[in-house]
Chain A
Amino acid sequence: MSAKSENLFMVSLKDAAAGGAVALALFGVLIGMKAEVASGLGGQLGIEYRWAAVAIAVAIVFGGRLLLNLFVWKTDKPVTATAKGFLPSAKPLAKLGKYAMPVFLILAVVLPFLLMSAYGSRGSRQYLDLAILVTTYVMLGWGLNIVVGLAGLLDLGYVAFYAVGAYSYALLAQYFGFSFWICLPLAGILAAFWGIILGFPVLRLRGDYLAIVTLAFGEIIRVVLLNWYDFTGGPDGISGIPRPSFFGIEFERGPGGFADTFGLEYNSIHRIIFLYYLILIMALVTNFVTMRLRKLPVGRAWEALREDEIACRSLGINTTHTKLTAFALGAMFGGFAGSFFATRQGFISPESFTFIESAVILAIVVLGGLGSQIGVVIAAVVMIGGFEFFRGLEEYRMLVFGLLMVVIMVWKPRGLISTRMPSITLSGKKAKGISADLVQEGHG
């Protein structure tokens, strides 16, 4: 053993011993003594001592800290670098991004038929439900991508607009009997309106401060929905939300229904397939609009705003308008997705719009690579699909899930797809993606 490694061992041992001592002090009380109603003392409180458990806990802390010190914390090579060695190189993924778009699209379009032929109409239902869920999150991710990925405004309360969209439809249907097709644009407009309402007070804020305010806004919406019992039904939610029709043709058994009109045999899967295509089209519209806007002055202004607000002002960009359009558009797509959610579920309550939803959507955007549309798709499939996939692991599911996120971030710190296509090049030349590898972290 060389002098250096011996020294490392001694330092690690000392550190581990200190950790063990702290653990002993804490666990001695926390684990070692348990207040109990002792049976032998006639119902009085007694203390049960569990020194063996304390010894095990302290040993785990000591041993764990020693091992971590020796092999992770104090090694010359950081563990993230070691972990990177086990993962495949990120390079092929950039190429994958190029072909992924058409492949994903074709796959998405033929998916219901693939599932039907593989599992039959009964067996494919759960997979279709999952596909609908994933696509909903893709749409939400794309919507949030406008705000966070393009305009660089960290929004932790995106679920508020999802909720506004869902409740807009549910309430309009309940009070006025409006159909889904009338409510869909209304829900989008209302959500965009709320986006502007939120946008105004937070125009001066950026980064962490903005995140906190949007977080609060998300909670305010949820709490209002929860407590305004007369109007929203509070925690009971709203049930019996009308299902969407196929342009006026209901998905019902019997004459005049969808199956009857098109000469098919009635099957409840028809509605599920219709819902799937509905959300797929809505998501694709979101993507199309975003991609178009990126190539227009307003889209470039969003990206410029993300990069440097002061420079934007020096170039004559109205930062107020730019931020508000980003908020409003992002919120609008959230609202569309929300009304789809309401019509699909048939029942909504404030429980569906908690902070964790915002966090999941944000995680999809960040893991996918801020500003990358295809990255959002991959991240949504991995996150939402993966979450369902690991259902068999029961209580370890969250652990696996968390670990997966850490691994992705170690492997690709800027998200799965960090290559950015320039929105414009010299006339006639094909756009080439610019890798993020050479740009300092946090600067791109």
Chain B
Amino acid sequence: MAAIGLLAKEAADRELLGLMLGELGHRAEGAGRLEEALEFARERKPRAFLLVDGGGADAESLTRELIRAFPLMPVVVALKTRDASRAVALMRVGAAEVVAPPWTPEDLKSSVSKGLRFQGTALTAASAAPASRSPVWYALAVGLFLASGLGVASLQRAERDRAAAAARVDRWELPVRHPAGLAFDGKSLWLVEWFTQSFYALSPSDTSVQLVRHLTAETPVAAAFTAEAMWTVSADGSVMRRMRDDKMTPLSRYPKAAPNSAGLAFDGLYLWTLDARAKVLRKHLVDRELTVISTHRWRGVKPAGLVFDGRTLWSLDAADRRLLRHSLERPEDVIEGVPLPEYAEGAYIPTGVSWDGSRFWTVGEAKDGRGPARLVRHKEEER
């Protein structure tokens, strides 16, 4: 009998689905809120989770949260209203199965059962073989076999080239001296310069400057991007949400929301800030006040940057010259440390970090503060 977690805002839904799961031979434990569900999952380690979408509950964000905390646990979503696009969106964020209303024990049974045997899609470039095979088919097959031999050799060569490229580290001197942070918007790297109160958009291919924005009223220290907005934080702790346009048009201001900020990152749901003085990571709800929902001790020496790589948070320790990896579940624990030998000689102090989807980038200030800043594209890490 498998324990199945059940997360539904409305008690009637919990009762109905709990009964159905019970009929199917599962032990269902109901929760009305995400926190209860996470606690239950931690304690009881259920085989799967069943969520209800609708009735005031947004299963998309709940699915994300559950999968983030328990990546291997299948999540099945029961829709209160039939909506095929919604079902596909839920599956895209990680739901193993989506059950349409009206809920029946049969549908629930097959969906939960499928969720428990979750496998990936088989991908193959070739079409299925035709039922009857003509001489032409055999001739083509021989041709394909010979071509595939050449193809394998070519792929092996490509793999060798790719491995060499992945191990390469690139360095550029920048036309600025006092970098404070780095961010990536999907196309360009954004360098934050506190001394000239400027943002520089740089091309990741050759680091040429594509755009410069001066902010006369604030001293920027960090930036991060979401799909819709650019977030910046100033030396006085004010966080700004801006449009992703050339003017960086301000949308909202959150005074003193992130004091002593050394880094800013967005994980798809929450905004994270790294307080250099208190040495804490703060998790903020993106609401009117950027409410801090949790605070976590940062265990490095000198915090200098923060970035989200799509799975986990990474912080930059300027004193130890290391990148520290933090799980979203327990950010106070460092689950991995990546040394940055590029800073070993001590001529540059790392001040910002970013992630372009496959590699880390860091920016360093010359130790005497007089020479040009240096941008480093690091080698690809085994992930």
B is bound to A: no
Chain B interface (Cβ < 8 Å from any Cβ of A): none
